[in-house]
Amino acid sequence: MFKLIKNSILYAPESLGKKDILICGEKIALISDKISPNLPDVEIIDANGKTVTPGFIDQHVHITGAGGKHGFQSLTPEIALTEFITCGTTTVVGLLGTDGATKSLKALYAKTKALDNEGITAYMLTSYFGLPPITMMGSVLEDMLFIDKVLGCKVAISDERSSFPTAKELLSILKDVHVGGLTSGKKGIMHVHLGALKTNMQLLLDLVEQYDFPIRNISPTHVGRTAPLFEEAIRFAKLGGMIDITTGGTKFDEPYKQVLYALDKGVPIENMTFSSDGNAGLGVNDKDGNLVGFKKAPIDLNYKQVQKLVKEANMPIGQAIQLVTSGPARNLSLTQKGRVFVGGDADLCLFDSNFNLTDVIARGRVMMKEKEILVRGSFEKKD
- Report if pTM > 0.85: yes
Taking residues 83-106, report their average pLDDT. 96
Q: What number is the average pLDDT over the span 90-113?
A: 96
Q: Is the peptide bond before 13 cis (omega within 30 degrees of 0)?
A: yes
Which of 207, 157, 209, 153 is CA-nearest to residue 181?
A: 153
pLDDT digits (tens, 9 = 90+) for 224-283: 999 999 999 999 999 999 999 999 988 999 999 999 999 999 999 999 999 999 998 887
Q: Is 46 a catalytic residue?
A: no
Q: What is the pLDDT of residue 176?
A: 98
Q: Could you give the domains of the chain?
A: 2-53+339-373 (2.30.40.10), 55-332 (3.20.20.140)
Mean pLDDT of 281-289: 84
CA-to-CA separations, 145 to 41, 93, 141, 191, 192, in angstroms, rounded: 41, 17, 6, 17, 20
For residue 339, CA distances in Å to 86, 328, 343 come to 20, 11, 10
Asked if residue 132 has a cis previous peptide bond (ω within 30° of 0), the answer is yes
Dihedral angle over CA of 259, 262, 268, 271, nearest 10: -70
> pLDDT, tens digit, for every residue of 54-84?
999 999 999 999 987 788 888 899 999 999 9
Q: How far apart are the first and last CA of the chain?
A: 28
291 band by pLDDT with thresholds 50, 70 and 90? confident
pLDDT of residue 287: 87
Res. 190 pLDDT band, cuts 50 70 90:
very high
Task: Point out the catalytic residue in the list 20, 277, 347, 359.
Answer: 277
SS3 at position 182 = helix
Instruction: State the pLDDT confidence band at 383, using cuts at 50, 70 and 90.
Output: low
pLDDT tens digits, residue range 310-363?
999 999 999 999 999 999 999 999 999 999 999 999 999 999 999 999 999 999
